[in-house]
Chain A
Amino acid sequence: DSGVTQTPKHLITATGQRVTLRCSPRSGDLSVYWYQQSLDQGLQFLIQYYNGEERAKGNILERFSAQQFPDLHSELNLSSLELGDSALYFCASSGISYNSPLHFGNGTRLTVT
């Protein structure tokens, strides 16, 4: 168990809808990262937060947004969903040092129909 909790595990929704994915980092970790993994693909970096502030941004679509709250949990909001957004979405957390390794949750599997 990595200590990173993601909810829900599965999500099925229709095109055009909006969903929110939630992540609780490991105790003591200040950084949260979000990744998207499409079927049989690699992990695409979306965004990173550190202690509530956005620190790095990847190829995150404008329809997607995220935030990290004062209690350090994070939410990833996906709106105007398209079929191509179907994927596994992973959250990872890391410690204070900039090169602390990432520890991953078990992901949320999003299916857009």
Chain B
Amino acid sequence: GQQLNQSPQSMFIQEGEDVSMNCTSSSIFNTWLWYKQDPGEGPVLLIALYKAGELTSNGRLTAQFGITRKDSFLNISASIPSDVGIYFCAGPPQGTYKYIFGTGTRLKVLA
């Protein structure tokens, strides 16, 4: 079935470091969403992307809609302890209404 693969699966970084993660699929997407989930809470929308090649920022976060429309990237600059959590990409594969979620990237920041 349709699947979104995220990498890395998890990462430990030092406070102040930049972080990069990506999301890939075999399907074409017209929308990419990035979410952050804290333990026991619902995912919170970080960034929404709607056009191939689009680059959008939200504070220290920057996300890009891949040119092939089959991938997306999220960067976090100058990480801080509260960036800890699980980051998910999501979107509806072209021609569907189903928003599927990636496997997640678990981020741990060492102070």
Contacts and interface: CB of A to CB of B under 8 A. Distances in A.
Interface of A: 2, 4, 33, 35, 42-43, 45, 48, 50, 55-56, 58, 88, 90, 92, 98-99, 101-107, 109
Given A43-B90, A104-B43, 8 more contacts: A2-B44, A4-B42, A48-B99, A50-B97, A92-B42, A102-B33, A103-B45, A105-B42
B41 A106 contact: yes
A104 B31 contact: no
Majority secondary structure, B binding face: loop
Interface stretch (B14-22, B54-62, B71-79, B100-108): B100-108
Contact of B98 (A48, A104, A109): A48
Interface in B74-102: 88, 90, 92, 96-102
A98 B102 CA distance: 19
